């Protein structure tokens, strides 16, 4: 058992600590393309069926929310959302399968990186 200067168990102290990471994807010009914010925007659009409602929940104006979606679409060169006008159950905005795939892959990448970072933290500090 390793003790710190005050005689406390160092391993016990570090077991309460975790590494936090911030993961995002940039294009070749260094512009933010995909990360936590855009993932949240897409997930809210999926939940609400509306860009306007998603932007309201995020505290963004509609134009800023739509800009997030357009930035993604322009950089991956594929549609992230499809909108259908009208008042039927099928009207509104829905995510495309590619958008859902990006969300899932981003979440997996983030979880893998955080798991590695915390494991490495324990190896170094314990």
Residue with the two structure tokens 């795939």: 101
Residue 20: predicted pLDDT: 87
Region 13-26: mean pLDDT is 82
Query: In this predicted model, which residue has the larger pLDDT, 120 or 4?
Result: 120
As a whole number of angstroms, the distance between CA 24 and CA 45 comes to 20
In the chain, what percentage of residues exceed pLDDT 90? 68
The predicted-structure confidence for 34-49, as pLDDT tens digits, reads as follows 999 999 999 999 999 9
CA neighbor of 52 nearest in space, from 63, 40, 67: 63
In CATH, the number for domain 33-125 is 1.10.10.10
As a whole number of angstroms, the distance between CA 48 and CA 42 comes to 10
Q: Is the pLDDT of residue 17 over 60?
A: yes
Q: Is the pTM of this model over 0.85?
A: no
For residue 2, name the pLDDT band (cuts at 50, 70, 90): low
């Amino acid at each position: 058992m390793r003790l710190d200067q005050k005689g406390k168990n160092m391993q016990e102290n570090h077991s309460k600590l975790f590494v936090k990471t911030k993961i995002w994807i940039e294009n070749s010009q260094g512009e933010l393309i995909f990360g936590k914010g855009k993932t949240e925007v897409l997930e809210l659009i999926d939940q609400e069926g509306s860009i306007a409602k998603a932007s309201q929940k995020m505290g963004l104006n509609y134009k800023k929310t739509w800009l997030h979606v357009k930035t993604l679409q322009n950089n991956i060169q594929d549609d992230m959302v499809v909108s259908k006008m009208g008042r039927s159950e099928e009207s509104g905005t829905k995510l495309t399968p590619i958008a859902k795939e990006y969300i899932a892959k981003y979440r997996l990448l983030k979880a893998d990186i955080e798991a590695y970072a915390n494991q490495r933290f324990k190896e170094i500090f314990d």
